[in-house]
Structure 1
Amino acid sequence: MRLHVEARLDYDFIGEVESLLHLEVAQSPGQTIVTESLVLDPPIAWSRLDDPATGERRVVFTHQGPLQITYLATVDLTPRDDGLAGAAQHAIASLPVEVLPFLRASRYIESDLFEQIAACDFGPLQGGDKVVAIIDWLRGALTYRWGTSTSTTTAMNAYMNRQGVCRDYAHIAAALCRASDIPARMVSAYAVGLEPQDFHAVIEVYVGGRWRLVDPTGRACPETLIRIGEGRDAADIAFLTIFGRATMTRQSVRVRELLREPAAA
């Protein structure tokens, strides 16, 4: 599958502000960047802070005043199997060391507060089957509604309110998985078919020997997700981290499928 991404951010930076931009497609297995461009207008100096371990790509810049950021990318996705049913749960001792941080509570995912909830509601299940049950429950229990959460809303806040957006669904799903001793991490992504189109937050769970993508909202197919970044919670995958003050004046995201030209005979 070949997808085209168009993302634009317009900001007005109050004073000279240093910022970390994280909206470029990651260099990850299963996705190949065919073409891409990143344009900052007016043109300003910036430097790269890419992560060779995860394939995540970031740039840092300092600016004062209005700034338009435009990112375009064409990406080929390779079909992958993210099936959960029957995927085994791992003993903690058998997990790779880099997976261990995603068992613990974090700023927005207070998984320690969900241990009793997970044990009572999903206790007998294990591994991928438990993740399926958590996602099924979440989609029925929560209402997807814009404007019901903020940048400081945690998993427990959203759980109690029973409403939220993709970030909130992902936080609750990851909290219940971690509370069940299943590693779970947040993933920022581009996705086809979202209405309205926007950056999308999903999760990955480590079962059956590898990470598997899951969209807790059910609004996007895992096969159409283009990874941007991963982390413990929303704080790690923000598309723009501003070390100062700024006002967003416009944001738009568009993702569409491209038809490939037939191969020459």
Structure 2
Amino acid sequence: MRFNIEARLAYAFATPCEVLLLLEAARSDDQIVHAETLILPPQAEMARLDDDGNGERRAVFVANGRADITYSAQVEVLPRNATLAGERAAAIRELPSEALPYLRSSRYCPSDRFTRFVDRQFGRFAGGDKVAAILNWIGQEVDYVAGVSDASTTALDTFVDRAGVCRDFTHLAISLCRAADIPARAVSAYAWRLEPPDLHAVAEVYLGGRWRLIDPTGLAPIDGLVRVATGLDAADIAFMTIFGSAQLIEQSFEICELAARAA
């Protein structure tokens, strides 16, 4: 599937600030960036801090006054196997070194607090079946409700409140998977068919010898996700990090499918 994506941001900066952007589609094995344009304020000096390991595309620039930012791209998402049933979870000793950090607790994912619950609730399952059971439990027990969480909300808060948005669903799924000794990490993505359009927080779990995308909210098809960034939790995948302060003027995100080309 091939998609057009576009992000438009407008912020006001009272004083010069450095800004880190994570808006650009990642260069990864499961998607191809065919064309893209990043437009920053005139005279903005940009530096690249790309992460070759995850294919992330990071841009840093200095903003002052009104800053208008536009990113557009045409991205092809290759077929993904979203099947979880029957997939094997690797023993810790079999995991690649790059997966090991995603077994540990992090700022928004205190997985060590969920070990007893996971053992009792999901102990009869293994591997991909356990992840599927976790996602099913979240879908039944947690309501998608805007405004009940904020930037400080952790997976433990969401577990208690039983409500949140994509970020909260993702943090809870990651925490439960890590508590089950299954590596899990956060992913930001442009999400086809998500309403309203936004940068969507989803997750990846390491099963069957590779990373597999999952959407704990169930709101977007896996083949309609254009990945941007990956990390331990939301702190690592924010689309904009401002080293200072700024006021939001407006922002929008769009993704639409391109018609298949005739053979």
Matches within 5 A, 1:31-70: 31-70=31-70
Aligned equivalents of 2:260, 2:83: Cα separation in 1: 27
Displacement of 1:14 after TM fit? 2.6
Displacement of 1:146 after TM fit? 1.1
Displacement of 1:82 after TM fit? 2.4
Does 2:94 match 1:94? yes
Tell me which moved more, 172-181 or 28-37.
28-37
Aligned equivalents of 2:124, 2:43: Cα separation in 1: 57
Quote the RMSD (CA, aligned, Å).
0.9
Q: Which residue of 2 aligns with 1:191?
A: 191
The amino acid across from 1:72 in the alignment is S
The amino acid across from 1:249 in the alignment is I
Q: Which residue of 1 aligns with 2:142?
A: 142
Displacement of 1:260 after TM fit? 3.0
The amino acid across from 2:12 in the alignment is D
Query: SS where residue 260 of structure 1 aligns?
Result: coil
Matches within 5 A, 1:75-86: 75-86=75-86
Query: SS where residue 74 of structure 1 aligns?
Result: strand
Q: Which residue of 2 aligns with 1:204?
A: 204
Aligned equivalents of 2:110, 2:252: Cα separation in 1: 31
Q: What TM-score results when the alignment is normalised by the length of structure 2?
A: 0.98
Report if the CA contact (8 A) 1:42-1:68 is conserved.
no
Across the two proteins, how many residue pairs are aligned to each other?
A: 263
Report if the CA contact (8 A) 1:103-1:183 is conserved.
yes
Query: SS where residue 245 of structure 1 aligns?
Result: coil
- Write the deviation string for residues 211-239 of structure 1: whole angstroms up to 9, x where unpaired: 11100000001111111010000000000
Aligned equivalents of 1:46, 1:124: Cα separation in 2: 52
Q: Which residue of 2 aligns with 1:151?
A: 151
- Write the deviation string for residues 25-49 of structure 1: whole angstroms up to 9, x where unpaired: 0000121111110011344111111
The amino acid across from 2:233 in the alignment is D
Matches within 5 A, 1:17-36: 17-36=17-36
The amino acid across from 1:104 in the alignment is R
Seq. identity, %: 51
Query: SS where residue 41 of structure 1 aligns?
Result: coil
Q: Which residue of 1 aligns with 2:162?
A: 162
Report if the CA contact (8 A) 1:13-1:65 is conserved.
yes
Aligned equivalents of 1:42, 1:218: Cα separation in 2: 40
Report if the CA contact (8 A) 1:156-1:172 is conserved.
yes
The amino acid across from 1:158 in the alignment is T
Q: Which residue of 2 aligns with 1:133?
A: 133
Q: What TM-score results when the alignment is normalised by the length of structure 1?
A: 0.97
Q: Which residue of 1 aligns with 2:217?
A: 217
Q: Which residue of 2 aligns with 1:104?
A: 104
Query: SS where residue 194 of structure 1 aligns?
Result: coil
Aligned equivalents of 1:183, 1:70: Cα separation in 2: 34
Report if the CA contact (8 A) 1:198-1:253 is conserved.
yes
Query: SS where residue 220 of structure 1 aligns?
Result: coil
Q: Which residue of 2 aligns with 1:231?
A: 231
The amino acid across from 2:179 in the alignment is A
- Write the deviation string for residues 200-221 of structure 1: whole angstroms up to 9, x where unpaired: 0100001111111100000001
Aligned equivalents of 2:48, 2:82: Cα separation in 1: 31
